[in-house]
Amino acid sequence: MTGIEHVVTSGTFSLDGGTWEVDNNVWIVGDSSEVLVIDAAHSASTIADAVGDRRVVAVVCTHAHDDHVNSAPALADRFGAPILLHPAEAPLWEMTWPDRRPDRELADGDVLRAGGLELHVLHTPGHSPGSCCLYEPALGVLFSGDTLFHGGPGATGRSFSSFDTIISSIRERLLTLPGTTEVHTGHGDSTSIGAEAPHLEEWIARGS
Ligand SMILES: [Fe+2]
């Protein structure tokens, strides 16, 4: 069995003095023996139950907002797996985990492998400076974190975000993927590149 599993976990997101309730999508990618976990959000035990007795090759963080990384150390320790994060996320990571560092740096162009699948790392800043998306070309699937959602770009109203930068990332790195590419997001419904691409100018006009 090779493929993608989806777990939804619930908790809070805090930044700039506010706290909001959120549901997060956790994606488990691989086969019956080894997996990559994308975004260890809120409940290490829920994610661990879904992983079962498989090897966790890495806990991959699309970015370091606390809702996406608040279970990363617990999950990584439970499975002896490294935590991977783009270095530009350090200021956000340290807000949640001041005494622990990620184990390895994600970089644009990296290829992460598990169970015969390949995740190509795309550095797509804007929602945060080190936000990354993960593209699996054989499956035609993109894991977009909080960079692209069903209905538009990720939020850019808070610290460390830039609307112009996220638009450039989406235009140059994501909308250039095949239109059939399925997009699995960090929150809410999945979408596709072809469904979102026609709306770029609307997003620019509304500015969010
Ligand atoms: Fe986020």
> pLDDT tens-digit profile of 45-71?
999 999 999 999 999 999 999 999 999
Question: Ligand 1 centroid to 207 CA: how many Å?
Answer: 18
Q: How far is CA 164 from CA 72, 82, 161, in A?
A: 29, 32, 9
Q: Are 12 and 19 spatial neighbours (Cβ–Cβ below 8 Å)?
A: yes
- Kindly state the tokens that stand for 70: 């608040």
Average per-residue pLDDT in the chain? 98
pLDDT more than 90, % of the chain:
99
In which domain, by residue range, is 63 found? 2-206
Question: Ligand 1 centroid to 1 CA: how many Å?
Answer: 31
Residue 205, pLDDT > 70, answer yes
List residues bridging with 149 in a β-sheet.
Answer: 152
Say which residues have a Cβ less than 8 Å from residue 201's Cβ, sequence separation at least 6: none
Question: Ligand 1 centroid to 65 CA: how many Å?
Answer: 5
Question: Ligand 1 centroid to 15 CA: how many Å?
Answer: 10
Residues 187-208, mean pLDDT to the nearest whole number: 97
- pTM here is 0.98
Residue 134, pLDDT > 90, answer yes
Question: Ligand 1 centroid to 89 CA: how many Å?
Answer: 11
pLDDT of residue 1: 61
* Residue 173: Cβ within 10 Å count: 20
Number of structural domains, the chain?
1
Question: Ligand 1 centroid to 164 CA: how many Å?
Answer: 16
* Residue-wise pLDDT tens digits, 70-127: 999 999 999 999 999 999 999 999 999 999 999 999 999 999 999 999 999 999 999 9
Query: What is the domain-level CATH number for residue 6?
Result: 3.60.15.10
